[in-house]
Amino acid sequence: MNWRDTYKSRLTTAEEAVKVVKSGDSIIPGHAASESELFMNALAKRYQELENVTPRFYVSTSKSIIKALINMRSFEIQLSPIG
């Protein structure tokens, strides 16, 4: 299998990707420009079935991600300063 086939075999939707997140997990959903709004919005839709999920951000560039997380009472947001 070449790298293109490997890459294609690992592609998935945001909805499928968030299915592996469990209550109590800490996740790093990306960093700065690599943050996935699709992933975080799909995760936000699961707020009623998850508890104590901690997304950790080092640099967040998306207001919509933070806005979605604020509406999730069972999620704790951790922003870590750099430097």
Alpha-carbon distance of 45 to 37, in angstroms, equals 12
Q: How far apart are CA 25 and CA 16, in angstroms?
A: 17
CA–CA distance from 61 to each of 25, 34, 58, 65, 69 (Å)?
Answer: 22, 9, 10, 9, 14
Residue 30 included in any domain: yes
Helix, strand, or coil (residue 54): strand
Count of domains observed in the chain: 1
The pLDDT value given to residue 61: 59
CATH number of the domain enclosing 26:
3.40.1080.10
Query: Is residue 39 one of the residues assigned to a domain?
Result: yes
Do the domain assignments include residue 64? yes
- What pLDDT does residue 53 have? 84
Residue 3 lies in a domain: no
pLDDT higher than 70, residue 80: no
Q: How confident is the model at residue 52 (pLDDT cuts 50, 70, 90)?
A: confident
The reply to whether 32 falls in a domain is yes
Radius of gyration of the CA atoms of the chain, in A:
14
Residue 5 has pLDDT above 90, yes or no: yes
9 against 76, higher pLDDT: 9
Q: The domain containing residue 59 runs over which residues?
A: 13-79
Count of C-beta atoms within a 10 Å radius of residue 35: 19
Please say if the pLDDT value at position 65 is more than 70. Answer: no
- Residue 34 included in any domain: yes
Does residue 4 sit in helix, strand or coil?
helix
Give the confidence band of 3 by pLDDT, cuts at 50, 70, 90.
very high
